[in-house]
Structure 1
Amino acid sequence: MTTLSSAPFSPDATDWRLLDALQRDGRASFAELAREVAMSPSAVTERVRRLEEAGFVRGYTAVLDPERLGLGVLAFVRLRYPTTNYKPFHDLMAVMPQVLEAHHVTGEDCFLLKVAARSMRDLETQVGRIGTLGAVTTNVVYSSPLPGRALRAPEG
């Protein structure tokens, strides 16, 4: 058996079933998880602890509804950042909680940002702040037919 101290491990089929269940409901009890994977709660507790310690599970969080919270406008903002000094970018991101995600990407743009706003006027203000760093292109989201997908075991 592989231990954390001897070598990293790859999740097996049971681990992936646990990871799938945790992604669907991070608040599931060990007893509920045990029923789902047909194992004892103590064995499931140990497996989940091992997955957490190995870094496969980074944390547990609540999924909030931005629209219900008054943030009904969602947009993706592409930023062309003209320098390799990323400190101003990181400083701005630290004070803009409306930026939900930031990805450093290849291509003509340097960053792809996911921004939530209260209104189009609020979005305009947020994009204006981001635009102080470089050229921006904004795409407003009409709807999200696939808002997020859980990671699954690789096939094959």
Structure 2
Amino acid sequence: MNPGGKRFYLVDGEILPEAILKTAMVNEMLAKGEVAKVSEAVEIVGLSRSAYYKYKDGVLPFRESGRTSIISVSLMLEHHPGILSRVLNTVAAVDGNILTINQSVPEKGLAPVSLVMDTSQMSVDVPRLLSELRQLTGVRTAQLVGDSEKK
């Protein structure tokens, strides 16, 4: 039980009432800067201002729930042209946001690389990203070395 506290649910958007879905659309339009005013956004999606204000603070897409996940990944890459580029393209393809890159000088044909990235907008989970990185030609290892959730 959670007496007096907020309760959150993960609900498939297809079963939500239209007003809730449209409220989420308005919030997204405002966050992306697609519109400047609430009145403009509610008119576009066909929602009353009163309905929007009733739900606006309680409706957010799951991935934008105010959490940012920062992870550190350690990689060992073969010293050949284009391998780091393939790693970066793979992260970008799943909407990962790289914050820092550190690559050491290669020794014995291998270059250690560490990446710190924000995974809050990623379209796949971290284990899936690591699996995809490990499958790239020239990537010897890819492992999670740390993560932190920022609320």
TM-score higher than 0.5: no
TM-score range, shorter chain: 0.3 to 0.5
TM-score under structure 2 length normalisation: 0.38
TM-score under structure 1 length normalisation: 0.37
Larger fraction in strand: 2
